[in-house]
Structure 1
Amino acid sequence: MTDEIIKVAKQNKQRLEQEFERAKQDDTQLIKKFSSEKTKLAKNQVYKSRRIETQKREERGKKITRSIVILGILLIIVIIIVFKF
């Protein structure tokens, strides 16, 4: 009996999903609403992507700057050692 209930529930779910898809295609107001929501989501996604890329670029810049400073200090130390001795 439980298997039958689960089977009926799955069938009802599929039927409701199909009806929703048909209604979504038929209802122009619903299509317009979903398209504007979809556009907003796409814009937010682009903004987040750009923000993430900017953050990664800044981190890379900090690493490169730190590496250059360390190399400069090492170069100064080597020059001092070479000319002192």
Structure 2
Amino acid sequence: MPRIVVEVMPKPEILDPQGKAIASALPHLGFQDFSAVRQGKRFELSVDGEVSDQTLAQARKAAEEMLSNPVIEDVVDVRVEDA
């Protein structure tokens, strides 16, 4: 069963306190190579049958209108993955 994956991230100008908390914790856990972290959201939409262009367009519309807050978030990716 294929699925459509939607990834949403905060807009660059929006503060990301969760990302900052993760970034400050990483060095304490032995991860020294990272200077910043941004935390986003991932949605997986299961599809019965084939994913058509129309289905993908519906997923993109849902991502822009329901799965993200367009004031503070960007939909960065909508793609098909095989289960």
TM-score by length of 1: 0.20
More helix by share: 1
**Higher strand proportion:** 2
Kindly name which structure, 1 or 2, has the bigger radius of gyration based on alpha carbons.
Answer: 1
